[in-house]
Amino acid sequence: MSESRSSVQVEALLEHSQWVRDLARRLTRDAATAEDVTQSTWVAALEHGPAPGRPLRQWLATVVRNFALQSRRADARRDHRERRVARAEALPSTSDLLERASMQRRVAEAVTRLEEPYRTAILLRFFESLPPREIARQLDVPVETVHTRLARGIEKLRARLDAEHGGRRQTWMLLLAPLTHGARKWGAPAPILGTVLMNAKLVASITLASALGLGAWWLAGRGAPAAKTQPVAAAERAPETPALEAAQPPLEQPDIVTRTEVEAAPAPAAPAPAAAVEVVASVLPPLSGVVLDAESRPVAGIELAVETRSTDEDADRSAVSGPGGRFTFQTPPSSGRLEVGGAAKERWTTVMDAHFGAGPRLKDAVIVVAPWISLTGTVVDEQGTPLAGAQVAVELPRDFRARIEAVLDDSKLGTWATVSDDRGRFALERVPLVDDGVLRVTLGEYDPYENALPAVGGSDLQVVLARPVESLVRGRVVDAAGRPVAGAQVALGADTRASDADGGFTFELDDPESFSARFGFPTDSLVAVKPGFLPVTFRPPLEGGEDGEPRWPAMVTLTLAGEPFGLAGRVTDHLGQPLAHARVWIADSTFLGAVDGRPTTIENYLAGSDRSWAFVSTDAHGAFEVTGLLDREYRLRAMDEDTMLMEDFGPFQAGAGSLELRLPTDRLYPRVSGRVLSHDGLPIPGVQVFPMCDAFRAKANGQTISTSHHALDGVVTDGEGRFELRSVPRSLVYLRVEGESILPLEYGRYVEGDPRFANTEIRSLPGDSIEDLQIVVEQRCHVRVVLAEPQSADEFSVLDGEGHPLTLNLIDATGRREGERMPIHDGRSATLAVSDSGTGVVLFRDGREVGRMPVELRAGEVTEVDF
């Protein structure tokens, strides 16, 4: 190597020295190892250097990752050697075995001496192996009450055993420890150690021992191995984000995304399978996390409050973040969300709260906070006339998630919006003061107003809305007598307006920000609907024939007349007996538009429902009546609420009565079981498996724009990845497999229009037995892209080993959005979830590839890819 080349290279290396050291620390999370990796990188750079024309930073990033990977592999080999030569545990002595057996008997006797209602709760839970939901059903009390009784009963048992051993809890816990240890050694999960190799009393003693303290310790100690980056926490089952959303800016996804409503119903009263793991309130693991500001910096001294429906009086309700923004709830409620509380609310507000559920947690809860301001003011037109009904909202920058260097899968972004009153006044309290945040005001035909948030709160803001110069569609809604109809919903394409006090409405044509423009809905007709009336539709004539543009009149009058129709009848089982509490709904309803940002059908709106999936329930005699129908034929769908068995019926002409919908309630699989495996064939324990269905799809413009799901309670896989379900319908359902360590999978789901999913029955999947399913899932990794040159790329994708793009998932506490490419804003991407089969990252600018880099993804870690 020539002296001049070496000198130039050393100068270049010095420019990148701090960046290389920081990257090494992020990859190793150990100061000494990071320094070794850094030094090895310098030696390699001075001896070899990058090939001519290759960017130095890109080459350095590859070298640092290679040395970090070699270090991890060396550590893993050393750990393996140490474990292999470690001595096995000594067998217990005869006296030890006798003492432990005596301890089991004392635990059982202590239970029988408990006062009510705690004794019954403990006996049903641990000696009869009933889940809390079934206990609640038998005792006719809420499930939370069962959790509370179990928690207090176990605490009373602890206190009694403490007293019997002179206050030395460690003594009796050590006597019970080998029970739970031995069960774990054989692969049985805690706290429910169900196994056919043990008699019922011994199983009950072991499970109760776990609940008394040992199981809590074991659960808290479980989880992913020490991560080199942020560990990954349990996500609650929640609705996915709606495609048409008005209250906050849409997540970074240009395509229409289905709206999902997951509505859990009680499972049928079948015995819980032995493999199921259920965490009771008494052994909930601690809840830890971090508080960050809007620039991803840790914030100490923030009091956090728990918002929950739990009635557990012993649970922690608050905690304070310490150094590094860290906090811990030692005894959290069973589920809820975390937000800023206490005195911290005087200065800070919650930007993103953290949602949590019961069970082991593999990653931090992340709460994002910011200083807050209050905004009040008036919305007026260009003449100074106050404007009522204006939507006033604070919107955060599109790259906000990319600014937070943490996994946000269980966090949810807040909303800050209101509507101006009759005097044009509005007030927004506790608005987060975030760089590049904007105040946005919209109203009907007026041009949107958008301005940066002030540095301090304002009480006299004046927002002036101007009318656009584009063409408008104006009209009026009246009844059959010509009287104005206020509050009718009028739709142009996917956009809706409520008629004013005079029945008036206005739409702006060719508005690029409208729902119709964004999602490709035609704007060639107007529809007006109001409960109590049949809807009315107006189509303007077309210029120059069928392919011409609509020629709108200066004023459109929409006259509402007539009353909606209905369908009535009863639902029976396969024997013709009335079926109570069955659900009935319209399977082919008519799309109206986005009402308040929610996809809405005409029938749902006329029936007075604000849900995407509107259904009626049968009475004790199986009778039902569906209302709000147009003068046409409809298909009906009925569901048995206990098993989720569904069937379609019809078509029926609206107005018909005395219908009988006979559900084939005998078409059930008595048992559905199998294993959940990684693509390497390894079992995946601790993931949920439950039956789910696409109950209702709203369609418009030839596409599904809203899907509502329904689910029943399921089970959790055991240490061998096994699961078992009872009474599963043979058709129209699939198995949802989810957990924070994997990407969600909908096994056996029929996807409309996709030939790979042409079957609607689980049994029809090739090569699978319904009692020996082999469900292969993708383990969840996280990736974030950081560019040295912020403008060098605007999108990226992740490829598998065969060069195919993988699905990137933007997940939050409400659901997820998917895409093969995701945006990069100002040189940074959001932290996205992706399959562990990814091997490379590709950059794009203006749709063209501009770079690629190999990548090693590891489950439970965040991989930062630096270009």
- Do 100 and 71 share a structural domain? no
CATH number of the domain within which 28 lies: 1.10.1740
| Phi, psi of 400, rounded to the nearest 5 degrees | -60, -45
pLDDT tens sequence across 104-144? 667 777 777 778 888 888 888 776 667 777 787 778 777 77
Least confident of 133-137, 240-244, 452-456, 820-824: 240-244
436 and 298 inside one domain: yes
Highest mean pLDDT among 31-35, 175-179, 484-488: 484-488
What are the DSSP calls for 487-542, one per residue? Answer: T-EEEETTEEEE--TTSEEEEETT-TTSHHHHHT---S-EEEE-TTSB-EEE---B
User: What secondary structure letter does DSSP report for 198?
Assistant: S
What residues form DSSP beta bridges with 683?
Answer: 677
Rounded to whole angstroms, the Cα distance separating 538 from 556 reads 8
Q: Are 629 and 567 in contact (CB under 8 A)?
A: yes
Query: Domain check: are 321 and 433 in the same one?
Result: yes
For residue 336, the cross-strand partners are 356
Q: Does the residue 417 lie in any domain?
A: yes
DSSP 8-state assignment for residue 286: P
Residue located via tokens 């009718």: 488
Q: What is the DSSP string of 241-308?
A: PPSS--SSPPPS--S--------EEPPPS-PPPTT-----GGGPPPEEEEEEETTS-B--S-EEEEE-
Mean pLDDT along residues 455-461: 74
Residue 523 lies in a domain: yes
* Cα separation, 289 vs 298, whole angstroms: 11
- Cα separation, 403 vs 742, in Å, equals 24
One domain, residues 335 and 414: yes
Which whole number is the average pLDDT over 314-329? Answer: 90
827 inside domain: yes
Query: Does 668 reside within a domain?
Result: no
40 touches 49 (CB < 8 A): no
Mean pLDDT calculated for residue range 735-751? 83
Q: Does residue 367 register a pLDDT over 90?
A: yes
Please count the other Cβ atoms lying within 10 Å of the Cβ belonging to residue 289: 26
State residue 459's pLDDT score: 67
Q: What is the pLDDT of residues 648-668, one digit of tens each?
A: 999 999 999 899 999 999 889
Query: Comparing 644 with 5, which gets the higher pLDDT?
Result: 644
Span of 586-595, 747-756, 834-843 with lowest mean pLDDT:
747-756
612, 259, 247: which is closest to 413 by C-alpha? 247
Residue 487 and residue 356 share a domain? no
Indicate whether 16 and 150 sit together in one domain.
no
Does residue 460 share a domain with residue 414?
yes
pLDDT at 590 over 80: yes
User: What is the reported pLDDT for 771?
Assistant: 87
* Crossing angle of helices 17-28 and 56-85, rounded to 10°: 30
Q: Which residue has the tokens 């009680």?
A: 266
Domain annotation covers residue 689: no
Looking at the structure, do residues 529 and 580 belong to the same domain, yes or no? no
Domain count, the chain: 6
Residue 747, Cα to own-chain centre: how many angstroms? Answer: 18
Phi, psi of 670 (to 5 degrees): -60, -35
State the residue range of the domain holding 453. 279-469
In this prediction the pTM is 0.57
Residue 245 within a domain: no
- Is the distance from CB of 626 to CB of 609 less than 8 angstroms? no
| Residue 396 and residue 292 share a domain | yes
What is the per-residue pLDDT for 7? 37
542/614 same-domain check:
no
- 746 belongs to a structural domain: no
User: What would you measure as the largest C-alpha separation in the chain, in angstroms?
Assistant: 100
Q: What percent of the chain has pLDDT over 90?
A: 36
Using DSSP, state whether 68 is helix, strand or coil.
helix
**Would you list the DSSP string of 147-160?**
HHHHHHHHHHHHHH
pLDDT tens readout for residues 282-296: 456 788 999 999 999
Task: Tell whether 704 is covered by a domain.
Answer: no
Under the banding of pLDDT at 50, 70 and 90, the label for residue 8 is very low
Of 608, 634, 662, which residue constitutes the final position of a domain? 662
Show which of 85, 116, 148 is a domain's final residue: 85
Q: Which of 66, 85, 104 is the last residue of a domain?
A: 85
Q: Are residues 298 and 197 in the same domain?
A: no
Give me 423's structure tokens: 């005097």
For 741, counting Cβ atoms within 10 Å of its Cβ (0-12 exposed, 13-18 middle, 19+ buried), the class is buried
